[in-house]
């Protein structure tokens, strides 16, 4: 089979599952044949190795059965960096980049800031901050062993030194870090309402429920952050969290109930959806 033919066949198979069949097929070509898009166009009429064509079909079938493209590729881009992903860890979303941008903006005038990334998953938020600010110290808290193994590989892959991984639960392990005063707490916690989870897109259901399920109203983790973690904030510290649609107002009021917090507000992402809440501590 020629490169052109296996590409076309892959697009055909993927079309039943996704509207992005051409993009996804090219991602699989890049993975399987180790070629760039440009190289593909140059080689289109050359013969492709048969075993690799078989691999393309196998991956396409996995994709059609509902597995996320990112898990099949085994890696994904976030903030211009590569992160390993796979079963057991939430896939980094482009919308989450606004959390990192706001975090970097908040610490831009602080020297050697201490940052906590709670429920860090793949580590995409904390690692991006640590990489951009080598003088910072970033602590990543994660409960899932599966996620932690990706996290550690991602720290290595991105060659980050100023980072520490803590295995722990946001609801109970706040005491393990009570000697540290974070200047900034960041988090993309699970925030989907438990009852709506069965109705999510099939691909999202392949992701760990633990990374999605925010309890009955989706806000359990924000209450835990407010109650257990905001009291640790350094003076003039802040918390910046990702949120879901129609949660901004309610999360602001949860944070404002904490006496350490003097102001809270929410922001929309580039698609116009409520995506981020930030709150500032007293001085
Ligand atoms: N952004 C994810 C989604 O919409 C949810 C991630 C989360 O719960 N933190 O599927």
In angstroms, the CA 12 to CA 211 distance is: 32
243 Cβ below 6 A of ligand 1: no
Per-residue confidence (pLDDT) for residue 80, from 0 to 100: 97
> Which of 191, 197, 213 should be mutated for ligand 1, with most atoms under 8 A from CB?
191
pLDDT at 175 over 90: no
> Per-residue pLDDT averaged across 56-61, rounded?
97
For tokens 């860090």, name the residue.
Answer: 120
From 142, 126, 276, 117, select the one nearest 210 (Cα to Cα).
142
pLDDT at 201 over 70: yes
> Per-residue pLDDT averaged across 191-216, rounded?
96
> Which of 89, 90, 119, 125 should be mutated for ligand 1, with most atoms under 8 A from CB?
90
pLDDT tens digits, 240-279: 999 999 999 999 999 999 999 999 999 999 999 999 999 9
Per-residue confidence (pLDDT) for residue 31, from 0 to 100: 97
- Taking CA atoms only, the protein residue closest to ligand 1 atom 1 is 93
222 Cβ below 6 A of ligand 1: no
Residue 242 CA: nearest ligand 1 atom is: 9
102 Cβ below 6 A of ligand 1: no
Residue 218 CA: nearest ligand 1 atom is: 8
Q: How remote is the CA of residue 215 from the centroid of ligand 1, in Å?
A: 13
pLDDT tens digits, 94-146: 999 999 999 999 999 999 999 999 999 999 999 999 999 999 999 999 999 99
Per-residue confidence (pLDDT) for residue 282, from 0 to 100: 83
Per-residue confidence (pLDDT) for residue 12, from 0 to 100: 97
For tokens 């709150």, name the residue.
Answer: 279
Percent of the chain with pLDDT strictly greater than 90: 96
The 8-class DSSP code of residue 119 comes to: S
Per-residue confidence (pLDDT) for residue 109, from 0 to 100: 95
Per-residue confidence (pLDDT) for residue 174, from 0 to 100: 86
Q: How many CB atoms lie within 10 A of CB 6?
A: 25
In angstroms, the CA 53 to CA 3 distance is: 9
For tokens 């404002």, name the residue.
Answer: 256
Q: How remote is the CA of residue 31 from the centroid of ligand 1, in Å?
A: 26
Q: pLDDT-derived band of residue 178, with 50, 70 and 90 as boundaries?
A: low
pLDDT at 179 over 80: no
> Which of 215, 244, 274 should be mutated for ligand 1, with most atoms under 8 A from CB?
244
Q: pLDDT-derived band of residue 49, with 50, 70 and 90 as boundaries?
A: very high
Residue 204 CA: nearest ligand 1 atom is: 10
Q: How remote is the CA of residue 210 from the centroid of ligand 1, in Å?
A: 11
Q: Is the Cβ–Cβ distance between 29 and 35 less than 8 Å?
A: yes
> Per-residue pLDDT averaged across 178-190, rounded?
92
């Amino acid at each position: 089979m020629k490169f052109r033919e296996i590409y076309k066949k892959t697009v055909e198979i993927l079309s039943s599952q996704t509207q992005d069949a051409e993009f996804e097929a090219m991602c699989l070509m890049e993975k399987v044949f180790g070629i760039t898009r440009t190289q593909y166009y140059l080689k289109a009429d050359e013969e492709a190795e048969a075993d690799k064509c078989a691999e393309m079909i196998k991956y396409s079938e996995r994709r059609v059965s509902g597995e996320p493209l990112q898990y099949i590729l085994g890696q994904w881009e976030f903030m211009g960096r590569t992160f390993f992903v796979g079963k057991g860890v939430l896939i980094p979303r482009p919308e989450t980049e606004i959390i990192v941008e706001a975090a970097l903006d908040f610490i831009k005038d602080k020297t050697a800031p201490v940052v906590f990334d709670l429920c860090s998953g793949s580590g995409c938020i904390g690692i991006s901050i640590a990489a951009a600010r080598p003088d910072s110290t970033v602590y990543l808290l994660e409960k899932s062993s599966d996620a932690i193994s990706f996290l550690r590989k991602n720290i290595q892959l991105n060659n980050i030194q100023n980072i520490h991984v803590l295995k722990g639960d946001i609801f109970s392990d706040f005491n393990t870090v009570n000697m540290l005063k974070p200047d900034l707490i960041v988090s993309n916690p699970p925030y989907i309402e438990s009852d709506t989870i069965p109705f999510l897109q099939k691909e999202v259901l392949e992701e760990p429920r633990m990374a999605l399920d925010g309890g009955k109203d989706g806000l359990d983790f924000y209450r835990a952050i407010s109650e257990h973690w905001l009291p640790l904030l350094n003076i003039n510290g802040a918390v910046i969290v990702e949120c879901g649609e129609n949660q901004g107002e309610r999360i602001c009021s949860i944070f404002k109930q904490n006496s350490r917090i003097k102001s809270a507000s929410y922001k929309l992402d580039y698609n116009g959806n409520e995506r981020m809440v930030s709150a500032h501590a007293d001085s």
